[in-house]
């Protein structure tokens, strides 16, 4: 049986696509699945640096016709297999995004889950991974521009018959108006992930600091995705937005006004009125 291909995408750079791919991948690996993560951000590859791995070959070399997929497979933390990219302009110029189809086909036949980490924008190199996926998870931060660009990415996916599973909002604080952001999305909100300054320096967070609120959010998201990928679950019937008020409450900082607001109903974010 071929593996499940999930593309992690978002219209704006720096919103946490790679962080999401790494932590979901590590979480699925912990559940017993063989997982490969591919850095398809051809312009700004950072998967290798995030996981502190130095591959023999890169995705760029494969897409340039200079290496085989097997030569670029690299072991990473938690038993993950990754195919990192390169950051040089020369490598970017030589890489042919169309060849990614063959790469993903090869990986699909060898792994239970293939996670594709994409770049930002609405370019051809982003459209290809969207079209190759069985399901697409969109990532945004609360930033207004990031939310708007995520909606555009979903529209691009729809035009090429990609299936958007839903979105996560990264770097959420207790003051984020999650309900208002959810209203702007035309697809389900899978999870909110609390802001964590260590999320890009302590990866995979789910392995290195599993007790942290952000890691808890990623692990709960992983459990939900397992059901969607393999157990016939549907977002509409089986997945509620993953959020926990306790992730965002610091008792020393909660003012009386904050407490009154929370007691008025709907939790910290007013998602459940």
What is the SS3 string spanning 235-257? HHHHCCCECCHHHHCCCCCCCHH
CB distance 133 to 5 below 8 Å: yes
Tell me the pTM. 0.90
Q: Is 144 strand, coil or helix?
A: helix
Q: For tokens 């962080």, what's the residue? A: 19
Tokens found for residue 29: 């690996």
Average pLDDT of span 21-43 = 96
Q: Which residue has the higher pLDDT, 270 or 1?
A: 1
Angle, to 10 degrees, between the axis of helix 124-132 and the axis of helix 100-108? 30
Return the closest-CA partner of residue 157 out of 138, 181, 171: 138
Q: What is the pLDDT of residue 271?
A: 55
pLDDT band at 265 (very low <50, low <70, confident <90, very high): very low
90 pLDDT exceeds 90? no
Q: For the chain, what is the mean pLDDT?
A: 89
Q: Is pLDDT larger for residue 77 or for residue 198?
A: 77
- Residue 34's pLDDT is what? 98
Judge contact between 63 and 84, C-beta under 8 A: no
Which tokens hold the place of 51?
Answer: 């996981």
Question: What structural domains does the chain harbor?
Answer: 4-248 (3.40.50.300)
Q: What integer pLDDT is reported at residue 267 of this predicted model?
A: 46
Task: Give residue 252's pLDDT.
Answer: 46
Query: Does position 2 have pLDDT exceeding 90, yes or no?
Result: no
Dihedral angle of Cα 219, 224, 229, 230, to the nearest 10 degrees = 100
Which three-class secondary structure state does DSSP give residue 121?
coil
> β-strand 35-40 against 113-118: which pairing, if any?
parallel
Task: Please provide the size of the chain in residues.
Answer: 273
Query: What per-residue confidence (pLDDT) applies to 257?
Result: 46
15 versus 121: the higher-pLDDT residue is 15
Give me the mean pLDDT over the 100-104 stretch. Answer: 96
Taking residues 15-24, report their average pLDDT: 96
Of the candidates 42, 36, 37, 53, the residue with the CA atom closest to the CA atom of residue 86: 42
């Amino acid at each position: 049986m071929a593996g499940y291909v999930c593309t992690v995408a978002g219209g704006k750079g720096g919103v946490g696509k790679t962080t999401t791919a790494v932590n979901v991948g590590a979480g699925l690996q912990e559940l017993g699945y063989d997982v490969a993560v591919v850095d398809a951000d051809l312009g700004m590859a950072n998967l290798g640096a995030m996981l502190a791995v130095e591959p023999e070959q890169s995705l760029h070399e494969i897409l340039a016709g200079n290496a085989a997929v097997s030569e670029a497979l690299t072991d990473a933390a938690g038993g993950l297999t990754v195919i990192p990219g390169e950051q040089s302009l020369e490598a970017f110029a030589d890489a042919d995004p169309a060849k990614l189809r063959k790469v993903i086909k090869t990986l699909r036949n060898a792994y239970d889950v293939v996670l594709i980490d994409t770049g930002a924008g609405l370019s051809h190199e982003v459209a290809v991974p969207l079209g190759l996926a069985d399901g697409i998870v969109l990532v945004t931060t609360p930033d207004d521009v990031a939310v708007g660009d995520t909606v555009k990415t979903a529209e691009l996916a729809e035009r090429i018959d990609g299936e958007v599973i839903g979105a996560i909002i990264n770097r959420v604080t207790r003051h984020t108006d999650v309900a208002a952001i959810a209203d702007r999305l035309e697809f389900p909100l899978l999870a909110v992930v609390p802001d964590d300054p260590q999320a890009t320096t302590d990866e995979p967070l789910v392995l290195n600091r599993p007790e942290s609120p952000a890691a808890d959010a990623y692990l709960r998201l992983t459990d939900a995705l397992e059901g969607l990928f393999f157990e016939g679950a549907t977002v509409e019937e089986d997945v509620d937005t993953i959020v926990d008020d306790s992730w965002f409450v610091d008792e020393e900082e909660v003012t009386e006004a904050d407490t009154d607001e929370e007691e008025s109903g709907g939790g910290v974010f007013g998602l459940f009125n």
